Structure 1
Amino acid sequence: MFSRGRDKWEALCTICKAGTYVSVANKGCGDLETHIVTAKHRDAVRGGEGSSKLTDFFVQPGKTEDAAHAAEGAFAFHTVKHHHSYRSMDCTSALLKRTFTDSANVKKFSSARTKTEAIVYGVLAPHSVDTTLEALQDIPYLGIATDGSNHGAVKIFPIMVQYFDWKQGGVQSKLIEVKDTPDETAETIAQYLIETLRKNQLTEKCIAFTGDNCNTNFGGVRRDEGGRNVFANLKRILQNKTLIGVGCPAHILNNCVHHGADTLDVEIENILFKIYQYFHIYTVHTESLKEYCEFVDIQYRTLLSHTKTRWLSLFPGIHRLLQMFPALKAFFLSQEKPPVAIKKFFENEFSEIYLWHMHSLMIVFHEHIEDMEKENNSVVEVSNILHSVHNVLQERKENNFMSIKVKELLAQKRKDGHDQDCNQFCAAVNGLYTACLQYLDKWMTPMAEFSPFMWMDLSETPDWNDVETCIKYLREKGVQTDDVKCFDQFTNLKKFAERSNSDGEFKGKQVHRMWTEYFERAKTVQNHSELLKIAQFVFALPSHNANVERVFSLMQSQWTKERNQLSVDSVKGLLLVQYNFKNITCKDFHAYLLNDRKLLGKISSSAKYAWAEKEGTEEDD
């Protein structure tokens, strides 16, 4: 409020101005207090509050512009993160200016739909790929995965890479490309993968390909390497004889259930679908069912859909059907012309028993598939899960296991004189277990290739013989490991594992996080260099294709009926940002932008519009 006066005892009042000096030679601060309560000073204060300063009408360059560009980037990220339409930024931009009129940053903020989309596709999406490629410069191995999904007449193929970077927390899964292809042939898919690897200079680092277990990808369980499948084409064109093919184990478990269910007399999956469709869009059917629920005194619950391509939908579908079974049975058997298949199902005295048995079986598969689909699982973990399912099924078959509920229902049927039908049911149960085991035995065979790595789960103190077997396997794949150095490093690992075995929190971690913790505790890279080579190879192997399915889920959330005119390139930008920055909040992303002047420069540059000029894309309301 005061600035330097004419001598050391005076101060100029910047509020009163007009040459108003206050001397503090007599009373010191008391002189200042006396001046503040004068009428002239109070009038000057009131006048200053009611007028605007000239600087309020101008925005200072420098930090304010950086802050505005960071805000534009953060709001673009926020739009993608929360599945908002680009059109919403027309309103957001105007609303911010109207709401925060005293903010210098908002005065510089100008990012409606066109600019927001340009920031996403022209800046943030390429940046997400660039950061991945930069990280991969120091990473020797990666695995690649893809799958296809239809959006209308367009077939979309995302390409993902997986690698191990202990400095960044362990296994990293990143999306590097999204493209539509003219067809789904093995040659087209393989060529697309190779072009992407070569464009990003990743060909020499690629050690594995992962996809679902369809013939297009692998040519069947025997891995027809001389055929025309994707895996065979990759090996042939890349001239990489050591390329590893990893079929999706979650897909194996899902198909195993279907294979076993097909042996039963009752088509449970088909019935689930038909019952759901009967009530799905027909309010009159649903209201009538609610009356039957009241009559049999059970709570009405919405029926659940199931399709064979949804790995986790069968168990909740069966569970809901059992909850509603008395009402559904009474409803359909009272209809004049119900669907024939549904009528036969409820007329069958053993339908409910089949449902209860499948329910007990699906508990095993559902829990194991959920455990298997964790984002950063390794081939070590998924192999253990497959063996766990196999062991459970083997025990059930040997003991002809049936739940107590099933046994109680069977006992009642025997009392009612249905001994022969009960015996047939018991035989069907045994056949179900046999079919599941045979399917698993066949499709688990390719997973046996990863047996040299099973010691890496550190569930027990590792043995050098196991590590030596692992080193020999890697040498066959062209990975040279110094066994002498590795042995010395192994002794440290052994001590680490022995100390950690009593730590329950450590034992509950994913395998890659156990190894990340070990590398973090090592004093220097020389203390774990050879073990790191092993870890980087093993954890670069994608253990399933569920991460690609996660990208498809994101795609469905973004590419909706309301946003049906998005181009493939625009969707690509959305997916790259959404997936590659999935672990960062909008608030943290804003801070991230503020610390990257180069990225802020790209947000402010007009070069970000170049892609839109070529594509000419628009988004409807």
Structure 2
Amino acid sequence: MAVDLVYWFKGSMKRKAGLEEFCQFCDTQYLEVINYVQTRWLSLEKAVDRTLKLYTSLASYFKSNNDSQARFKRLQQLFSDPMTELHLMFYQATLPAFTNFNLLLQRQSSTVHLLHKQMHLYIRKLMSKFIKPEKIKDVRVSDIQYQSQEIQLPDSKLTIGFTTRVTLNRLLEGGDISQTQVKKFFAGVRGFFCEAVSYALSRLPLDEPVLQHATFVDWHQKMEASIDDVLFFVDRYKHLLPFDSPQDQDKMQEEFTDYQMMDDHEVSSRQWKEIKDAEDAEGEFLQTDKLWVHLSSLKNEVTGRPKFLRLIKVTQLVLCLPHSNADAERVFSSIGLNKTDTRNSLHGTLSSIMTIKMAASEPCFKFEPPAEVLMASRRATSSYNKAH
């Protein structure tokens, strides 16, 4: 549907003008139809939201016009079917669960220490939409027989979104849809959730030991962690963490215990404000790398040496582990934007461009050179002008 809808209006000012007239008639704001692109991971939710905002106008447009093209016929049939809007509303209510987890994987700050917990929470959230809560609580997600009808919720309690439920009841009471269509809709909902859970269980590394043991890095999970989590990385990366002697491990135990016993007030409010993740609007996650930069600066009051000398080394290694391939995908995308068919002879220049772009923390138009760089540039310019 999304592809047909976009390509029907794409490149045709006449069709766009016609849709704009129907938007004015239906008292809705005219907006461009958004295309769903599989390589753009978050485009589906935006495409669905935009289609629903224009739904009344789009339905009027296709019901009021005639065209012999197959694409128009398909769209006309879809917008004449009241079930189309129900399916879009269901997607609008359900997709945020996928989008939020996707955003976690796309964070630029390290989140490898969060993945084990968040993967399980994500699957439980999906299951809670169609499975009885008591069948999910205190049970490993991989052991839940989610396809069994006995533990699934009845149709009246399936999580399909409040707006979807109200619209469904209104259409059924008004005779616009039949009871058979309703049963088919709920069967599709169950199939959708079962397939989503099956895909997540088969693709997500729920039992990956690296992710299980990396949780000690997280300030909020430190009390549930143990020294074994730290020693797992010492044993796995012996060539990078030479702390396998009994004396070193005893010191590591002391440092880890001190870390666990730390309270929130030992980090100032100003530092907590800096540590808060700028990508997280709800303040649920912290920029753990900045937190550990602060912890690395703490000194032992007696010896004056770093308080977490060994623990910091292990933490630095954990935070360097990639949590997804999002960064690599961004690099490939940036290369594709810079090296094009008409700009394909960059040679060493492309490497320099990518180095600058990957090192930049903000867009180039916001970059302000330091005063020292400006002064050196002026001196160099003056010297060049005098010499020529």
Q: Give the TM-score normalised by structure 2.
A: 0.75
Write the distance in 1 (CA, Å) between the matches of 2:43 and 2:36.
5
Q: Does residue 459 in structure 1 map to residue 220 in structure 2?
A: yes
For residue 452 of structure 1, report the CA deviation from its aligned partner.
1.2
What pairs with 1:60-209 in structure 2 (closer than 5 Å)? none
1:433-512 matches, cutoff 5 A: 433-445=193-205, 448-449=208-209, 450-462=211-223, 466-478=226-238, 479-481=241-243, 482-497=248-263, 499=265, 505=273, 508=283, 509-512=286-289
CA shift for structure 1 position 348: 2.7
- Measured against aligned partners, the alpha-carbon deviations of 1:44-90 in whole angstroms (never above 9, x if no partner) come to xxxxxxxxxxxxxxxxxxxxxxxxxxxxxxxxxxxxxxxxxxxxxxx
**Distance of 2:324 and 2:375 partners within structure 1:** 37
1:404 paired residue among 151, 162, 182: 162
Confirm or deny that 1:390 pairs with 2:123. Answer: yes
State the alpha-carbon separation in 1 of the partners of residues 192 and 237 from structure 2: 39
Q: Does the 8 A contact of 2:215 with 2:221 survive in 1?
A: no
Partner of 1:430 in structure 2? Answer: 190
Post-superposition Cα deviations, 1:119-174, rounded to whole Å, max 9, x if no partner, equal xxxxxxxxxxxxxxxxxxxxxxxxxxxxxxxxxxxxxxxxxxxxxxxxxxxxxxxx
Q: Is the 8 A contact 2:112 2:322 kept in 1?
A: yes
Q: Deviations over 1:213-240 (max 9, x none)?
A: xxxxxxxxxxxxxxxxxxxxxxxxxxxx
CA separation of 1:395 and 1:520: change in aligned 2, threshold 3 A: same
320-329 vs 494-503, which moves further: 494-503
Residues 216 and 229 of structure 2 are in contact (CA less than 8 Å); yes or no, is this contact kept in structure 1?
Answer: no
Number of residue pairs the alignment of both structures matches: 327
Give the superposition deviation at 1:369. 2.3
**Where in structure 2 are the equivalents of 1:357-368 lying within 5 Å?**
357-368=90-101
How do 1:204-603 residues align onto structure 2 when only pairs under 5 Å count?
271-333=1-63, 334-338=65-69, 339=71, 340-398=73-131, 400-415=158-173, 416=175, 418-445=178-205, 448-449=208-209, 450-462=211-223, 466-478=226-238, 479-481=241-243, 482-497=248-263, 499=265, 505=273, 508=283, 509-523=286-300, 526-555=306-335, 558-559=338-339, 564-582=343-361, 586-589=367-370, 591-592=372-373
> How far apart are the structure 2 equivalents of 1:342 and 1:315?
20
Residues 378 and 512, structure 1, Cα contact 8 Å, conserved in 2: no
* Cα deviation, residue 321, structure 1: 0.3
CA deviations over 1:177-207 (Å, ceiling 9, x no partner): xxxxxxxxxxxxxxxxxxxxxxxxxxxxxxx
SS in 2 for 1:317: helix
**How many angstroms does 1:550 deviate by?**
2.8
CA contact (8 A) 2:298 2:306 kept: no
Q: What amino acid is the match of 2:298?
A: R
- 1:582–1:552 Cα change, 3 Å: farther
Change (3 A) 1:558 1:484: same
Contact 1:459 1:501 in 2 (8 A): no
Residue 359 of structure 1 aligns with an amino acid whose one-letter code is: Q
State the one-letter code of the partner of 1:422: V
Unmatched 5+ stretches in structure 1? 1-270, 605-621
Distance in 2, Cα, partners of 1:458 & 1:324: 45
Q: Determine the C-alpha separation between the residues in 1 that align with 2:347 and 2:121.
A: 41
CA deviation profile, 1:429-460 (whole Å, cap 9, x unmatched) = 12111111111111122663210121321114
Quote the offset at 1:480 in angstroms: 4.2
The separation in 2 between residues aligned to 1:280 and 1:349, in whole angstroms, is 25
Contact 2:105 2:326 in 1 (8 A): no
Shift of 1:301: 0.7
Shift of residue 349, structure 1, vs aligned partner: 2.5
Residue 10 (structure 1) aligns with:
none
Q: Deviations over 1:459-490 (max 9, x none)?
A: 14535x62223313531443443320011112
CA contact (8 A) 1:319 1:359 kept: yes
Q: What amino acid is aligned across from residue 77 of structure 2 in structure 1?
A: K
1:588 aligns to what SS in structure 2? Answer: coil
Tell me, in whole angstroms, the C-alpha distance in 2 between the residues paired with 1:586 and 1:404. 46
Cα distance change on mapping 1:582 and 1:556 into 2, 3 Å: farther
Quote the Cα distance in structure 2 between the aligned partners of 1:556 and 1:526: 45
With 482-491 and 495-504 compared, the bigger mean Cα shift is at 495-504
In the alignment, structure 2 segments of 5+ residues that lack a partner are: 132-152, 277-282
Task: Determine what percentage of the aligned residue pairs are the same residue.
Answer: 17
Deviations 1:387-444 (A, max 9, x none): 3322211211225212111111211232215111101111211211111111111112
Whole-Å separation in 2 of the counterparts to 1:534 and 1:594: 41
1: distance between equivalents of 2:266 and 2:201? 34
Residues 14-29 of structure 1 aligned to structure 2 (within 5 Å)? none
Contact 1:272/1:305 (CA < 8 Å) preserved in 2?
yes
Distance in 1 separating the partners of 2:207 and 2:105: 14
SS in structure 2 at match of 1:521:
coil
Change in 2 beyond 3 A, CA 1:552/1:420: same
Q: TM-score, normalised by structure 1?
A: 0.48
